[in-house]
A and B are shown apart, each in its own frame.
Chain A
């Protein structure tokens, strides 16, 4: 991959914080701030993510700073790991600032039992998961939705799945936004998007998406762990996926539309993929309604997968296999939030909301400790449970990282290791692996990612979130 090395003037304004001033480029409206230690900064400066943050800082109505999280890497338009907030009154909304996988996110389930109890039937259970949950380009014939039902998923989110028997009523209070964003408008989602997504509810997809069985390996914050219902040795399941083809098409449709109308609003951008429209414009409102609908589809997708995991665990372990949702967080989304006296449209692209104990949107059960945040590591490495902090509101619009962050292209990853080698290495560490393609296994090799422990350490030390627990993988079903 071509090394770029950022040429923008950068000031270190704290041990873990660097700033690119507003004057670094004439079209910037706000400065850029990036959270990283020296090692992560070296990696960040070697791709185009800094330039992409600077481009985001040119968007109309952007306020405060544009932030880069420590897992940031080059994307398209927005970098992955970028946060930007625009005024509701005169700012824009950018489909490219959310990305194609609208509401890609992570859900953690906690089992009643510990790994020791689960181990004798674990391989069979992981195999059953791989057969029960379609992955890759797979569809889900058991959940082929009628147009009317798909519209209800889009507008009601997980609430509709309670009615369909795929969710428990108590699940809803442990989902970001209750698993349904207000303002979702199915009529703003194109027929093409619905055609791509109507039979994809309950599917993992491909790329870095997965369902992973894990064990709670270490606790860092006993009080928060207790509030989240986590204990050392406990079995957990982490689900990472998003809105599938439906969300991809919503983004395609609206990037195209906004690319064509931007000039009418006098908007000129350094990158066409940042295509945007004023939030208050007809195009902005249409995208917001469609994006919220796609976000609801994504929460429902993770809910349908949750139902499948519960069925598999029930088959394998009986009542001991029951699973409780700890929480579900989005990491590709734009949300209207109150920050100080203003309503802002906060774009988080590869970044996770991390509200602290006093924030009104932190769910009731977690008010004492802050909302849970889940940071999946690369395949085969540890994942982390963090707790949101009140300080993060002032540091990053209440945002933190979303994963380890890639450092190696997919092609480079495949050239450096074969899928068989990656599989042998994971199995050698006692991790059960199910993946439809060896090539995809190689693309997601741990060496293709940054060190998640370093990323999480920066987040913790910078005060963006605090460490609660480490989860070690014991079984992976890769998309």
Chain B
């Protein structure tokens, strides 16, 4: 059966981008970027957008986040699960992302986040269903299903 998430072909987009694609009960997030570091940063921005829903995130504090995983697709899921955990457990929602290094099993990033007592929306988790990070011309495309 064809996967509805057909990889993008042709030249990579000029800058990182993400889109939310319909899924009957959850959120399908697709991200494109020129490198793994940019892809993870863009995925972080997408999750921030979903959780903040326009709430003011102009200030905040910076912290370093490090995540490791057995492969780059799992790294995408684990990275987002770290952000989801921090938002719920510490009320700290990441908003601005500077990924210092990212390779196939490890990411190290500086993230500016805001303390929000009651975030407009929280996500349950980034799942492994349909999870992928593929090479595409000019960069990478990732997909992850978020449980909401």
Contacts and interface: CB of A to CB of B under 8 A. Distances in A.
Interface string A255-271: 11001100000000001
Interface string B17-30: 00010111111000
A179 B39 CA distance: 44
B1 A4 contact: yes
B90 to A, nearest CB: 8
A136 B122 CA distance: 8
A76 B88 contact: no
Contacts of A76: 26, 127-130, 145, 147
Contacts of B70: 259-260
Contacts of A6: 1
A24 B117 CA distance: 51
A273 B125 contact: no
Interface in A43-102: 47-48, 51, 73-77, 80, 96, 99-101
A252 B1 contact: no
Contact of A74 (B23, B78, B127, B147): B23
B22 A1 contact: yes
Contacts of B131: 272-273
A100 B147 contact: yes
B129 A47 contact: no
Given A137-B88, A245-B88, A260-B70, A7 B1 contact: yes
Given A51-B1, A192-B85, A273-B127, A137 B121 contact: yes
A338 B128 CA distance: 31
A406 B121 CA distance: 20
A416 interface: no
A1 B24 contact: yes
Contacts of B147: 76, 99-100, 248
Interface string A404-416: 0011111110000
Interface of B is mostly: loop
A196 B89 contact: yes
A272 B24 contact: no
B1 A206 contact: no
Contacts of B23: 1, 74, 409
A407 B147 CA distance: 16
Contacts of B127: 76-77, 96, 100, 255, 273
Given A76-B127, A245-B88, A273-B128, A410 B1 contact: no
Contacts of B89: 192, 195-196, 245
A410 B122 contact: no
A311 B90 CA distance: 30
Contacts of A410: 25, 27, 148
11 contacts: A74-B24, A74-B25, A77-B127, A96-B129, A138-B118, A206-B148, A249-B85, A256-B78, A271-B129, A406-B24, A410-B148
3 nearest interchain CB pairs? A76-B129, A273-B129, A2-B4
Interface of B: 1, 4, 20, 22-27, 53, 70, 74, 78, 81, 85, 88-89, 118-122, 124-125, 127-131, 145, 147-148
